[in-house]
C-alpha cells in the first residue's frame, strides 16, 4: 500500500509535466501557424527606432496583421470613398470613383500645396499629400476602387490584391476604396489632426505596389506635420512582400472569374510600441513608400486607415496576440523547469 501511495503522486506529477509540455508546444505552434495564415505574402518585416539599426523581427509570425493590430484598439476608420461633403461632425472622404474612372487630385495646382482631407468617425482628419522628396512623373494622388479604370488611355483597370465582391464585369468599381500614387514612387504623406489638435497613437492599413510582385513597403512615423526628407522619423516599419507572380496584378481579377485576391499585406505603426522604451509618441504624420520601379506604372495604393478609438495613448501593457502566446509559452516552460529543479532538490 505504501508503494502505491507514493507512486500515485509521482504519476500525477508526470501527467502534469506532460500537459505543460504539450500546452507550451501548442502555444508555439499556434504562433507559427497563425503568422503563416495572417501574414500571407509577407517574407520578412523590420523595425527601426530613430536613426538606429534596422532589426528584423524573429519570425514572420510576429509581423503586423490586422488581427494583432486590433488589440490597440483600432475601432475607428477612415473611408476614402465617402462623399466629400463636410456636414457637422459626420465623417467624410475623398469622394467616389465616378463611373469607372479614377479621381485625381494634384496638390501642386493649389496655393499652399494643401492636403486632400478625409475624416474618420472619431473626428480624426487624415490629409493625403505627396511628401517632401517626392519622385514621379506628376504629383497626381489617385482615388480609385479595386477594379476601377485607372488609365483611360490604355483601358487599364486596377486589378490589385485588395478586397472586393465577385463581379462578372471587370469594369465596375465594386472593390475596396483606395488612395495612392499611380505615376510616382513616392513618398506619400498623411498628416493627422485628432480632436483638440493632437496626434494619434497608431495607424494601420493594407498596402500594395502598383506593378511589382515582389516589393518593400515602408511606413515612417513623425511627431510633427509635413516632415522634410532630411528629418529622422521616431519609428520605422518595413515589410518585404511577395505576391508570388511577376507583377502586382491579381490573376483571378485579370483573367476571370473576376474574384478578388484579398491578400494585400497589412502594415502598421504604433506610437506606444515597447521599442520606444516606455515613452509613447503621438503620431502627427506618416510617410509611405514602396520600391516599385517596374516599367512606367510605378506607385502604391493603400486601403482605408484603421485608427485607435478612445484615449490618444493606449495601455502599453496589452501585448499583441503573437507576443501573448510567446509569453504564455515561455512562462509555462519556466514553470516546468522550476518544478524539475525543486523535484531534484
Residue 87: C-alpha distances to residues 26, 27, 76, 91, 288 (Å): 51, 49, 18, 8, 29
343: number of Cβ within 10 Å: 10
Rounded Cα distance, 63 and 44, in Å: 8
Question: Is 184 or 232 the better-scoring residue by pLDDT?
Answer: 232
145/221 same-domain check: yes
pLDDT in tens, 34-76: 333 333 588 899 999 999 999 999 998 888 887 766 545 557 8
Mean pLDDT confidence for 22-26: 41
Rounded Cα distance, 183 and 151, in Å: 11
Who's near 104: CB < 8 A, 6+ residues apart?
140, 141, 142, 143
263/124 same-domain check: yes
pLDDT of residue 192: 96
Look at residue 9 and tell me whether its pLDDT is greater than 80. no
31/81 same-domain check: no
Residue 161 in grid coordinates: 490584391
Look at residue 335 and tell me whether its pLDDT is greater than 70. no
25/86 same-domain check: no
**Exposed/middle/buried for residue 146 (C-beta within 10 Å: 0-12, 13-18, 19+):** buried
**Which DSSP helix (H) or strand (E) runs through 55?**
strand 55-56
Mean pLDDT confidence for 257-267: 78
206/329 same-domain check: no
pLDDT in tens, 192-201: 999 888 899 9
pLDDT in tens, 235-251: 999 999 887 666 667 76
Please give the full DSSP string across 273-312, using - where no structure is assigned: -GGGTT----BSEEEEEE---STT---EEE-PEEE--SSS
139/236 same-domain check: yes
32/80 same-domain check: no
3-state helix, strand, coil in the chain (%, to 5): 25, 30, 45
16/79 same-domain check: no
Please give the residue range of the domain that contains residue 112.
42-314
Rounded Cα distance, 33 and 18, in Å: 22
24/130 same-domain check: no
168/238 same-domain check: yes
How many domains is the chain built from? 2
Report which DSSP code applies to 62: G
pTM of the model: 0.75
pLDDT of residue 68: 65
Mean pLDDT of the chain: 74
22/50 same-domain check: no
324/306 same-domain check: no
Who's near 194: CB < 8 A, 6+ residues apart?
123, 124, 200, 312
The total number of residues written for the chain in this structure: 345
Amino acid at each position: 500500500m505504501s508503494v502505491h501511495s507514493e507512486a500515485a503522486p509521482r504519476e500525477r506529477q508526470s501527467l502534469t509535466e506532460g500537459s505543460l509540455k504539450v500546452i507550451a508546444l501548442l502555444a508555439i505552434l499556434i504562433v507559427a501557424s497563425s503568422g503563416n495564415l495572417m501574414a500571407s505574402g509577407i517574407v520578412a518585416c523590420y523595425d527601426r527606432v530613430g536613426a538606429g539599426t534596422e532589426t528584423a523581427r524573429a519570425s514572420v509570425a510576429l509581423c503586423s496583421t490586422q488581427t494583432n493590430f486590433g488589440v490597440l484598439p483600432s475601432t475607428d476608420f477612415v473611408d476614402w470613398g465617402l462623399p466629400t461633403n463636410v456636414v457637422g461632425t459626420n465623417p467624410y472622404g475623398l469622394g467616389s470613383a465616378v463611373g469607372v474612372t479614377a479621381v485625381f487630385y494634384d496638390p501642386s495646382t493649389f496655393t499652399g500645396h494643401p492636403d486632400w482631407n478625409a475624416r474618420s468617425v472619431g473626428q480624426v482628419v487624415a490629409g493625403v499629400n505627396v511628401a517632401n522628396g517626392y519622385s514621379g512623373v506628376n504629383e497626381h494622388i489617385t482615388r480609385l476602387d479595386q477594379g476601377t479604370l485607372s488609365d483611360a488611355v490604355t483601358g487599364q483597370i486596377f486589378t490589385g490584391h485588395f478586397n472586393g465582391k465577385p463581379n462578372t464585369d471587370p469594369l465596375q468599381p465594386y472593390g475596396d476604396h483606395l488612395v495612392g500614387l499611380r505615376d510616382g514612387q513616392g513618398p506619400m504623406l498623411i498628416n493627422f489632426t485628432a480632436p483638440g489638435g493632437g496626434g494619434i497613437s497608431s495607424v494601420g492599413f493594407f498596402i500594395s505596389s502598383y506593378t511589382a510582385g515582389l516589393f518593400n513597403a515602408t511606413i515612417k512615423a513623425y511627431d510633427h506635420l509635413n516632415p522634410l526628407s532630411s528629418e529622422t522619423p521616431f519609428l520605422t516599419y518595413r515589410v518585404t512582400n511577395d505576391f508570388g507572380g511577376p507583377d502586382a496584378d491579381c490573376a483571378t481579377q485579370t483573367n476571370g472569374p473576376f474574384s478578388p485576391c484579398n491578400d494585400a499585406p497589412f502594415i502598421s505603426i504604433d506610437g506606444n510600441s515597447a521599442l520606444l522604451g516606455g515613452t509613447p509618441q503621438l503620431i502627427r504624420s506618416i510617410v509611405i513608400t514602396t520600391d516599385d520601379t517596374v516599367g512606367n506604372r510605378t506607385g502604391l495604393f493603400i486601403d482605408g486607415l484603421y485608427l485607435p478609438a478612445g484615449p490618444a495613448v493606449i495601455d502599453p501593457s496589452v501585448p499583441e496576440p503573437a507576443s501573448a502566446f510567446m509569453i504564455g509559452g515561455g512562462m509555462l516552460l519556466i514553470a516546468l523547469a522550476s518544478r524539475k529543479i525543486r523535484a531534484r532538490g
